[in-house]
Amino acid sequence: MLRNASADAMARGCSALGIAATDAPAALVSRDRAQPHWGERHACINCGTCHQGCRTGAKATTDTSWLPLAKAHGAEVRAECRVIDIERDGRGRVTGVVYVHRGERRRQSCGALFLCAGGIETPRLLLNLDLANSSGQVGRNFMAHVATQVWGRFDADMRMNRGYPSSLISEDMVRAAGVDHAGGYLIQSLGVLPVTLAANLARGAGLWGAALVDLLDDYNRLGGIGINGECLPSDANRLTLADETDAFGLHKARVDFSYGANERAIDAHARRTMTAIWEAAGARDILALDRSAHTIGTCRMGTDGDRAVVDRDGRSFDVDNLFICDNSVFPSALAANPALTIMALSLRTAERFLATRE
């Protein structure tokens, strides 16, 4: 795939500093392809709107891959549903799910239940129902990647919206020598549309009004790089239930999260590194943005039911026919987007379930 201009600039800067960088793996097709159970997926046209949705089908997403495959093997997809209760029998095993679809309350019986609602909604549901939490760990150890970004102006046109956004990465800082922090971070090139950049600048750099508009006027000459930095689990970073309820009567989620000393050290190291890369690439008016990304943890996996929510197979320690298959089970954050790990763990959990079910 074609690199975008931010990737080319990152390659120049990394080369000048002796930092290794390589083309990032991309889950998209570079030529037309007939996708089994889906149809024709057209080649990437380098429009740069990957984050907003792919209009050609080039990007591999749930709707072009897993869902068609599941439906081809007999799965029924029920969209626009909100689970409000999980029914259990006298032994505490799950027997059914109660959900609301377009205002109508419905029930689905089940022999086993897989929760896949993510690091916010999975623990929120369990806490609302007081389920699978004998360890007291549901909602605890919320993690988010340190996702600091560095932006700068270039003399040449960048037009970052053209090409695959995160097309270059460096893993040199994932386990760097001589640093003052545990873990590390992955560096990647960036490419975002103006509305996304405006939101990032407002939230991460405090730019408003004329200052924000002036910088956005130079959108076509701006380029950025960012990180996925590891985050250590902490009991203090947690999801709890708010007093306020939603339209279905369930308590809303409240997340308390802040960087610890290790995350602050990663952030500081990354700012220095990325600023140096951008200076070497020829950027000026360099600006660093505070940012975090991805929801991780809150129903962590482990070997001890007193300290974890699910076992190594994703099975609840408390309810033997309840499984969790999402990023809430991560015991650590990793230094990369969690999507592929979520898929890998889900496949493994499904395989273990099929191998051991009664």
Residue 240 belongs to what H/E stretch? strand 238-245
pLDDT digits (tens, 9 = 90+) for 264-315: 999 999 999 999 999 999 999 999 999 999 999 999 999 999 999 999 999 9
Give domain 5-29+142-295's CATH architecture: 2-Layer Sandwich (3.30)
The pLDDT of 190-218, averaged and rounded, is 94
Instruction: Tell me if residue 18 falls in helix, strand or coil.
Output: coil
CA trace torsion 145, 151, 157, 158 (10° rounding): 0
Cβ count within 10 A of residue 41: 21
Give, in degrees to the nearest 5, the angle at Cα 227 between 64 and 57: 15
246: burial class by Cβ within 10 Å (0-12, 13-18, 19+)? middle
pLDDT-based confidence at 358, cuts 50/70/90?
low
* Least confident segment among 6-15, 48-57, 79-88: 48-57
What is the three-class DSSP state of 270? helix
Q: Is 229 exposed, middle or buried (0-12, 13-18, 19+ CB in 10 A)?
A: buried
| In the chain, where the domains are located | 5-29+142-295, 79-141+297-356
Q: How far apart are CA 321 and CA 356, in angstroms?
A: 11
Quick one: which of 4, 12, 337, 15 has its CA closest to 172? Answer: 15
Residue 19: which pLDDT band, with cuts at 50, 70 and 90?
very high
Give the global pTM: 0.93
Cα 7 from Cα 10, distance rounded (Å): 5
What CATH number was assigned to the domain covering residues 79-141+297-356? 3.50.50.60
Chain segment 128-171, per-residue pLDDT in tens: 999 999 999 999 999 999 999 999 999 999 998 888 888 999 99
Element (H, E) at 128: helix 118-129
